[in-house]
Chain A
C-alpha cells in the first residue's frame, strides 16, 4: 500500500474499531441499574459491590452523593475513589440558582470592567428601550417567584404582550410547567396556590422566564437540543462537549395562538411529555441527531451562520460553567455529566433553558441506546487515568485517544500554560477573539 492508501485505510478503519479497553478489576457501585451503565461496567470487567463495601467507582444518585459528602455521614473518600456528581451540583442544575449565579457572574465581570460584560441598548417588544449584555445574554430573562414578584411585574409592564413560562424550581421532566400571557393569570395562580387546601404548593418556589416564542422550527415543529457536557474539574475548569447530542421534537405543529397556550404538546419538548401524545412515534422517539441538524442548517441556511450558532452554543456552555465555578465544591473525587437543554430561536441564537445533573439514561429508541452507551463509555475513559484506576493525584489530562466522541471545550490549566501548539488552546482563543 502506498502512503496515501494507508492514510485512507486508517480513516476508514478508524471509525469502526472499538478502542481497546484496559481490563482492570475495579469495584463499582451504582444506584441506577440502567442497562447502558451496567453493560459498560460489565464490558470493562468491573465487579459490583454495595455502597457499604469498598468501591472505587460510584454511579450515584444526586441524593446519595449529597449524603456521602454531608458532615453527618462522616464518610471520607480515599485517593482511589471516584463519584459522578459534585456535592453542590444544584448551583448549576436548580433553575433558580443557575440564573442567580449567572446574574452574579455578569455583575462581577461588569464591576471588574471586563469587556465580556459589555452592554448595549435594545428595543423591546413593546417599543421600550432596555439594556442587554452583548456577549452574555444567553438565558431568557428570569425571576424567582414569589421572591422577585415586584421586579417581575416591572419587567412585565415593559412588554405586556410577551408570554412567560412558569417552572417549579425543583422539578423536572416538564412537570408543573405552564405558560402565562396575562398578569391576571399569575395572580389567580398565586391565590390558588396560597389557598389553605394547597399548603404544600405555597412553599414551592418557581422561576418565571420570558417564553422564547420564536423558536426555530423544522417541519413546523418546535424542538430543543440535549447536549452532554462532562466536567472533570471546576477549578481549574475542565469541560468536554459530547458530539452526539440530539434534538427533541414536539409531536404537534408549533402554534402561538392563545387557545394552544395550555397545550403542552405544542410548547414543551420533554420526551416525558411528548410520549403521552397520540402522535408519538416510538421508532425515532422524536429525536434527530445534532449532526443532522447541522447538515440541514448548512444545506439550507449556509455554513457561516451554522458555524456561528455552534460556536455560540459552546460559548454559552463555557460561561454558564464559569458562572458557577467559584461556588462549586471542587472535590477531586468528583466528575459530572450535565444534560444541557438549549433552544435555538429563529434568528439562530441559542438560549440556555436549563442544566440537568442527572440526564436521563433511559433509552427510548435503538439509536438512543447506542448514543447513551457511547456516552457512558466515553465518560469512563475520560475521567479515569490511563491505567484505569481512579486516582485523585492524576492531573486529569486524558490522552487525545481517550476522548472518543468528546471534544475538549476548555481546560484552564492548559490555557494557563498557553501552549501555542495545542489544538485546544486554539478553539478557546477563537472564543476569546470574538470578544477582544
Chain B
C-alpha cells in the first residue's frame, strides 16, 4: 500500500516538474536558483539541505509552493465538460444576438466599432485620466447591450420546457437539464467549518474573536503562502488583511512587468476608440455613480474597466469559456496587420451592471493597478461563469438549478406559494446571482461573502444565500402575490447579516 502511494507521489512530482518548465516564470526562477547555488550559503557537501535552507530564506520556496498550488488547482478545475448540445447551441445563438445588437447600435449611431482617436481627443483623455467623470460624452443614445433579465430569458428557454402542464410533473425549467447539483446535506460537507458552528468573522462580533483572527491573519499574510491564505479565508478575513490575503490566494503579485502591461492597456485606450468604451462609461454611470456606497470611486472604476476591455490576456486565459469575439478593423489606421483588433481585446462584452464585479475592490485598494490585477484574477476565476452559458458545475446554469433544488427541498411551502402565484422563483433572485450580490448587499457584508467564495473556491454559496434570504423573509413573501410585490419585499438587503444567515442555513437543525 505505502509503496504504491509513494510511487504515485513520485510520479506526480515528476509530471509537475516537467510542467513547471513550460511556465513563463520558469526561466527567471531557474536563474535565481543558479545564483543561489553559487552563493557561499550552499555547500557542496550538504547540497540538498543547504540549498533548501537558502531557498527558504530567499522566499523561493514559497514561490515554488505557490506555483505548484496554482498549477494543481488549474488542472483539477479542468473537468471535462459534457458539451450539452442544447446549451452550446443556445450559447452560440446568444452570442450572435449580442454581436448583432452591437453592430446595429453602431449603425444607428453612425459610428464604428473601432476607430483611431484623433490626437486632440487622445490628449484630453490622457489629461483627464484621473478624473474621467469630467470627460464629457453624450451617452444619451447608448443603451446597455443586455441586462440580467434578458440573459435570464435566454436561460429559461434552455430546456425548451413549457411549465405548468401537469401537476405531478417536475417543475420549473432548469430541473430538466441533465446537470448534477448538490443537496443541502452535500453542501454541508463542502462547508464543514460553517456547518459545525465554528466561530466566524461577521457572525460573532465579539472583540476577542476579531483580535484572534487579526493576529492569526497577520501571520498568515506574512507567509504569503496561497493555500494557507485560502484556508484562513474560510472563517472570514479582518477587513485590514483582505487586500493582501485575496492577492495571495489569487496569485497576484505586482511586478514592474505588470505595471508596464497595465500602462500598455491604458495606452491602447488612449489610441483606439472602441464603441465598448461608451458602454463602459454608461455602465459606471448607471451603477456606481448613483450608488452611495461607490460613487466616490467613480474615477477609479473608469480606469479599471476601460483597461480591462483592452486586456488580451483575459481572452487568452478564458479561451473556450467565453465564445468567439468579433474581429474588426480599426478605422483610420493604415491597413496592416495591427489594424485588425479583437473586439474588444478582452473578448468580454459588458452588460448592465458589469461594473459591479469590480466595485467592491475599491474598498481594498487605492491604487488602480493593484485593484486591477486582483479584480481581473477574480473575474477570470469566477465572475465570467456568471454571465456565460455553460454546463460547468460553477456556471450560472448550474447555480440556477442549485437554487431551485435547494428551494424546493428546504422551503417547500415557499415553493408552492411561488407556484400558486405563478412566479418562477428564479426571477426574484437572478440579478443577485448574476452579480454575485454586488450592489445588493452593503460592502462589508459582500466582502465576507466573497471571502467564503475564495476560501472554499466555490460559488455554491450564492444560490444558498439567495434561498436563505427568501426563507428569512418568507412570512412577508407569503403575504404578496405579484412579482412587483415580491421584488419589493426583497429589494432592501441592507439589514441582512450574511454570515449568520448562511451559517444558520448550513447548521443542522
A interface residues, Cβ below 8 angstroms from B: 1-2, 4-5, 8-9, 11-12, 15-16, 218-221, 249, 253, 279, 281, 283-289, 291-292, 295-296, 298-300, 302-303, 306, 365, 367
When each residue 295-322 of chain B gets 1 if its CB lies under 8 Å from chain A and 0 otherwise, what string results?
1111110000000000000000000000
- Is B421 part of the binding interface, using a Cβ–Cβ cutoff of 8 Å? no
Tell me if A219 and B300 are in contact (CB < 8 A). yes
Q: Which 7 A-B pairs have the closest CB atoms?
A: A284-B292, A303-B240, A298-B239, A219-B296, A4-B197, A283-B290, A298-B240
Assuming A11-B497, A300-B365, is B299 touching A284 (CB within 8 A)?
no
| A292 vs B443: C-alpha distance when bound (angstroms) | 8
* A295 contacts B444, C-beta separation under 8 Å: yes
* Minimum Cβ distance to chain B for residue A213 (Å): 20
> In the complex, what distance in Å separates the CA atom of A285 from the CA atom of B500?
32
Residue B116, interface by CB 8 Å: no
Residues of B within 8 A of A367 (CB): 292
What are 7 inter-chain pairs, A to B, with CB distance below 8 A? A12-B500, A218-B296, A220-B131, A285-B292, A299-B242, A300-B366, A306-B240
What is the chain B residue whose CB lies nearest that of A302? B240
Residues of chain B in range 173-220 having any CB-CB distance to chain A below 8 Å: 197, 203-205, 214
**Structural contact, A291 and B444, CB atoms closer than 8 A:** yes
A292 to chain B: which residues have CB within 8 Å? 293, 363, 442-444
Quick one: which of B203, B214, B295 contacts A303, CB cutoff 8 A? B214
B12 interface hit (Cβ, 8 Å): no
Q: Closest CB of chain B to A346's CB: distance in Å?
A: 12
| A16 lies within 8 A of B495 (CB) | yes
> In the assembled complex, which residues on chain B have CB atoms less than 8 Å from the CB atom of A15?
495, 497
In the complex, what distance in Å separates the CA atom of A34 from the CA atom of B134? 36
Is B131 touching A299 in the complex (CB atoms < 8 A)? no
Q: Determine if B291 is an interface residue (Cβ-Cβ < 8 Å).
A: yes
Given contact pairs A253-B134, A298-B238, A300-B366, enumerate 16 new A-B contacts (beta carbons under 8 Å): A4-B197, A5-B509, A8-B500, A11-B203, A15-B495, A220-B130, A281-B295, A283-B291, A284-B290, A284-B295, A288-B292, A288-B296, A292-B363, A296-B363, A299-B363, A303-B214
Q: Which of B292, B365, B500, B509 has the most CB of A within 10 A?
A: B292
- A residues near B134, Cβ cutoff 8 Å: 253
Give, as a whole number of angstroms, the nearest-CB distance from B293 to chain A.
6
Cβ contacts under 8 Å, A4 to chain B: 197, 507
* Contact yes or no, B298 A295, CB < 8 A: no
Instruction: Kindly state the separation between the CA atoms of A288 and B447 in the bound complex, as whole angstroms.
Output: 18
**Chain B residue at minimal CB-CB distance from A305:** B240
Q: Bound complex: CA of A284 vs CA of B443, how far in Å?
A: 16
A299–B240 contact, CB under 8 A? yes
From B501, which residue of chain A is reached at the shortest CB distance? A12
Contacts of A302 in B (CB 8 A): 240
Min CB distance B64 to A, Å, is 30
Contacts of A1 in B (CB 8 A): 509
A283 contact set on B, CB distance < 8 A? 290-292
Q: Distance in Å from the Cβ of A176 to the closest Cβ of chain B?
A: 28
- Of A8, A287, A296, A303, the residue contacting B503 (CB under 8 A) is A8
Residues in B with CB closer than 8 Å to A12 are: 472, 497, 500-501, 504
- A9 pairs with B504, CB closer than 8 A: yes
A5 in contact with B197 given A12-B501, A281-B290, A292-B293 (CB within 8 Å): yes
- Measured between alpha carbons, how far is A281 from B295 in the docked complex, in Å? 10
A interface footprint on B228-239 (CB within 8 Å = 1, 0 otherwise): 000000000011
Complex CA distance for A303 and B239, rounded to whole angstroms? 8
**B125 adjacent to chain A (CB < 8 Å):** no
Expressed in whole angstroms, the Cα–Cα distance for A392 and B291 within the complex equals: 44
Chain B residues with CB below 8 A from A289, complex form: 292-293
CB neighbours of A281 from chain B (8 A):
289-290, 295
Bound Cα distance A107, B313 (Å) = 65
User: In the complex the two chains form, is A365's CB within 8 Å of B504's CB?
Assistant: no
* Interfacial chain A residues near B239, Cβ < 8 Å: 295, 298-299, 303
Q: Report chain B residues within 8 Å CB of A220.
A: 130-131, 299
The secondary structure that dominates the A interface is mixed
CB distance from A10 to the nearest CB of B (A): 9
From B130, B295, B497, contact of A288 by CB (8 A): B295
A306 to B290: give the CA distance in the assembly, Å: 27
Chain A residue numbers with a CB within 8 Å of B363 are 292, 295-296, 299-300
Contact B504–A8 (Cβ < 8 Å):
yes
Contact A219 B497 (CB under 8 A): no
Contact B364–A300 (Cβ < 8 Å): yes
Does B145 count as interface, using CB distance less than 8 angstroms?
no
| B490 close to chain A: CB less than 8 A | no
Cα A365 to Cα B291 with chains together (Å): 11
Q: Is B90 an interface residue (CB 8 A)?
A: no
- The smallest C-beta distance from B439 to any residue of chain A, in angstroms, reads 13
In the complex, which residues of chain A have a beta carbon less than 8 angstroms from the beta carbon of B203?
A: 8, 11
From residue 423 to 452 of chain B, which have CB atoms closer than 8 A to chain A?
442-444, 447
- Chain A residues contacting B214 (CB-CB under 8 Å) are 303
Contacts of A279 in B (CB 8 A): 133
Assess the A300–B238 pair: CB atoms within 8 A: no
CA distance A11 to B495 in the complex (A): 11
- B483 within 8 Å of A (CB atoms): no
In whole angstroms, what is the CA distance A286 to B238 when docked? 28
CA distance A289 to B293 in the complex (A): 8
Distance, CA A16 to CA B469, complexed state (A) = 13
Closest chain A CB from B262 CB (angstroms): 19
- With beta carbons under 8 angstroms apart, the residue of A284, A296, A306 that contacts B291 is A284
* Chain B contacts for A284, CB-based, 8 A: 290-292, 295
Is the CB of B243 closer than 8 A to any CB of chain A?
A: yes
Task: Give the residue name and chain of the B residue nearest to A13 (CB).
Answer: B472
Collect the chain A residues with CB atoms within 8 Å of residue B289's CB: 281
Complex CA distance for A306 and B239, rounded to whole angstroms:
11
Shortest Cβ distance from A282 into B: residue: B290
Complex contact A303–B365 (CB within 8 A): no
Q: In the bound complex, what is the Cα–Cα distance between A288 and B292 (angstroms)?
A: 6
- Smallest distance from the beta carbon of B107 to chain A beta carbons, Å? 33
Known: A292-B443, A296-B363. A221 touches B497 (CB 8 A): no
Taking a contact as CB atoms under 8 Å apart, the answer to whether B507 and A5 are in contact is: yes
Question: Residue on B with the closest CB to A14?
Answer: B497
> Please, which residues of chain A bring their CB within 8 A of the CB of B472?
12
Residues of chain B lying within 8 A (CB to CB) of residue A218: 296-297
- Residues of the A chain whose Cβ atoms lie less than 8 Å from the Cβ of B204: 11
Cβ contact of B292, chosen from A11, A16, A300, A365, cutoff 8 A: A365
The complex places the Cα of A16 from the Cα of B475 at a distance, in Å, of 13
Residue of B nearest to A9 (CB): B504
CA of A218 to CA of B362, assembled, Å = 11
Shortest beta-carbon distance from B42 to chain A in Å: 38
Asked if A299 and B364 sit within 8 Å, CB to CB, the answer is: yes
Q: How far is the CA of A365 from the CA of B204 in the complex (A)?
A: 32
Residues in chain B near residue A16, CB distance under 8 A: 495
A365 to chain B: which residues have CB within 8 Å? 292
Give the residues in chain A near B240, CB-CB below 8 Å: 298-299, 302-303, 306
